[in-house]
Each structure stands twice: as C-alpha cells, then as structure tokens.
Amino acid sequence: MIIIYPTSLSATLDATAETFFHQKPLPSHLQEDIAKMIISRQCQSGVNSGFFIPFAAESEAKVKLYTGEELKTTLARTHILMIEAVRILKLLALESHAITQSIHLADQRMKKMCYRNFCTKGECKALTIAYLRYLILDGTGNSTEQINIHLTNLTGQRDGRGKWGAFPFFYTVLALSESDDPLAVQELQYALPACKKQQAQSWPADSVSIRRHEIIAKVLTKS
C-alpha cells in the first residue's frame, strides 16, 4: 500500500489515517518521511499561519472526510486539511521541535474557530467532529473539558433515529469509537440500532463503503 503521495497531501493523510485505523505498523523512517512531508506544506507565518497548503496537483481534487463525505466550502476544505494533518502528526508520536511547533501553530488557529466549542452550522458540523477526534488524542487530560462540551452538545443533536440530525453519521460514529469517555460510550449505545440497520444492508465494494462497513463492525464489536 502506498502511503506517501508526492503530489497530494490529502491522499498522504488519508492513506496514513487508514494505516492507523487498521493498527498496522509504520517503519520509523516512513513515519519521519510522512511528518516531514506534512510539515513542509504548512504556512509558518503570515495571515495563513498554521494552515496546510495542498499541492497544485490537488486543486481540482474533491476533499472528503475519512468516511467519504465530500466537503464543498472553502472554509471546510481548508480546515479539515489542517485538523487531519496535526492529528496525524500526533498519531506519529515523534519527538521533534518541528512537529511540536507545527501542532502549536495549528492549535492557535483552531482555538479561534467556532468548531472549537461545537458548531451546528453547515459544514462546521463535520469540522466539529474532526476537532473532537483531534481532542481525543490528547493524553494529558488538558482537553477533557472540551471533549465533554462536544459530547454533551452532541447528545442534544439526537434525532431519535440513532443519528444526530445533519451531523455526518459514519464520521461521528468513528469519532465516538475512538474514545472511552462515558459520554462517548453513551452516544454509541444510542447509535447501536442505526449501526445494526446499516450492517444488515447490502454493501457495495467501493472503498468508501468498505471503510464505513469496517467502522460499523468495529462499533458493534466494541459494544
């Protein structure tokens, strides 16, 4: 499986995320190459400080969540790349000043955004869940309050059908499956009937459907 795509930051992040989802080992030299590639695309100063810039070859490419939902707005496309980039940097768990600085720059940018405190507007719903996934990786306990804010507000978005209104279902379930927080477990229990309904359906063999099926299977196994 190809991990690093020399002319696509999005594809590199996606392939790396898939590797981590399946808990496959990454050789140390490959981890370092991934980190270098990601950091090389970040703006270090100026009005775009913290953002990660796609390659020119990606200009016409669709931007999608890990679970396949396409993002249409410039704001969502820009911010999902940043959130996913620093999330991957945290997952790589490499110790270097460059990585620490890269995460810090992105943090400063994200802390100014509405999705930091949960947002229900448009595609900020997807960014809210992406940011929750990022927060879940914090093992220091410093993000506990923010995680609780997100999960408590998510409970308020329940639609009574095992979903959360217009929040992307598969992406939200993925985020919840990555946390052992009691509130996350509670929301997964709420979503179980919808997950079982999804599992019972016939799934096509495309890559997005395969990922979604894997996520549902993970949730049902965890329950």
160 band by pLDDT with thresholds 50, 70 and 90 = very high
140 band by pLDDT with thresholds 50, 70 and 90 = confident
55 band by pLDDT with thresholds 50, 70 and 90 = very high
What is the reported pLDDT for 202? 87
205, part of any domain: yes
Q: Is the model's pLDDT at 45 over the cut of 80? A: yes
60 band by pLDDT with thresholds 50, 70 and 90 = confident
118, part of any domain: no
Domain limits for position 49:
1-112
127, part of any domain: no
Give the CB-side neighbour count of residue 3, counting CA atoms within 13 A. 19
Same domain, 66 and 164: no
pLDDT in tens, 166-177: 999 999 999 999
Structural domains in the chain (count): 2
pLDDT in tens, 2-27: 999 999 999 999 999 999 999 999 99
pLDDT in tens, 164-211: 999 999 999 999 999 999 999 999 999 999 999 999 988 888 999 999
Same domain, 1 and 108: yes
Last residue within a domain, chosen from 90, 112, 134 = 112
pTM: 0.96
77, part of any domain: yes
Mean pLDDT of the chain: 95
What is the reported pLDDT for 82? 98
Same domain, 89 and 152: no
